[in-house]
A and B are shown apart, each in its own frame.
Chain A
Amino acid sequence: EAQVTQNPRYLITVTGKKLTVTCSQNMNHEYMSWYRQDPGLGLRQIYYSMNVEVTDKGDVPEGYKVSRKEKRNFPLILESPSPNQTSLYFCASSFVQGDRGANVLTFGAGSRLTVL
């Protein structure tokens, strides 16, 4: 089954304790991206990756890191989590069709993170 898999789905941690949220897709998509969703704000892009070893900042990259060493994986790293990073996180992927081609995102089920 074609899907985007995120882990963990739920996590409670404490301020300053490094954590990684994994994201893996089995559709051979070039494009992968991370978003956070907060009440009343909609989804906001954190980082995205056009292909292996190519990453770029979204609208809210502060406090996050990413890496794209393999095409299928795009982990989100919080080096020193803070309470304002408590949120619902989504990973998504899609094909890239030309420089400005259409791309339909496939989303993971979400990871709910609480930082105390």
Chain B
Amino acid sequence: KNQVEQSPQSLIILEGKNCTLQCNYTVSPFSNLRWYKQDTGRGPVSLTIMTFSENTKSNGRYTATLDADTKQSSLHITASQLSDSASYICVVSGGTGGFKTIFGAGTRLFVKA
């Protein structure tokens, strides 16, 4: 069964600290993996996208890694800011047909002053 699992479920960090969010997936065949940021009540916004041939992608203070062999990805946030408080969702595309999108349940990040 195609699944995307994220950990931790929620995380509280102090402003200025770094953190790493995890994503494990069992989607096959694999097309690409994306990380989205979702503020409460709003639509998700793309942070990074990686295909199977890419293992690192950065977008400002966000760095995503992908290990296609172990089917794991991580999102590292550097020097966190209060505005980073949001849900971070790992999304994998693939499966039979190629364009099904399977979403993780998300990690809820709280950045405190």
Q: Which residues of A contact B (CB under 8 A)?
A: 4, 31, 33, 35, 40-45, 48, 50, 56, 58-59, 88, 90, 92, 96, 99-110
Q: Is the CB of B49 within 8 A of A108?
A: no
Residues in B with CB closer than 8 Å to A99 are 98
Q: Is the CB of B98 within 8 A of A108?
A: no
Q: Is the CB of A43 within 8 A of B93?
A: no
- How far apart sit A107 and B47, CA to CA, in the bound complex (Å)? 13
- How far apart sit A102 and B91, CA to CA, in the bound complex (Å)? 12
Residues in B with CB closer than 8 Å to A103 are 32, 49, 93, 99
Residues in B with CB closer than 8 Å to A58 are 100-101
CB of B60 within 8 A of chain A?
no
Q: Is the CB of B106 within 8 A of A33?
A: no
- Closest chain-A Cβ to B25's Cβ sits at a distance in Å of 13
Smallest Cβ-Cβ distance to B48: which chain A residue: A104
- Closest chain-B Cβ to A104's Cβ sits at a distance in Å of 5
Known interface pairs A56-B97, A99-B98, A110-B43; A35-B103 also in contact (CB < 8 Å): yes
- Closest chain-B Cβ to A7's Cβ sits at a distance in Å of 14
- How far apart sit A13 and B54, CA to CA, in the bound complex (Å)? 46
Known interface pairs A100-B31, A103-B32; A45-B45 also in contact (CB < 8 Å): no
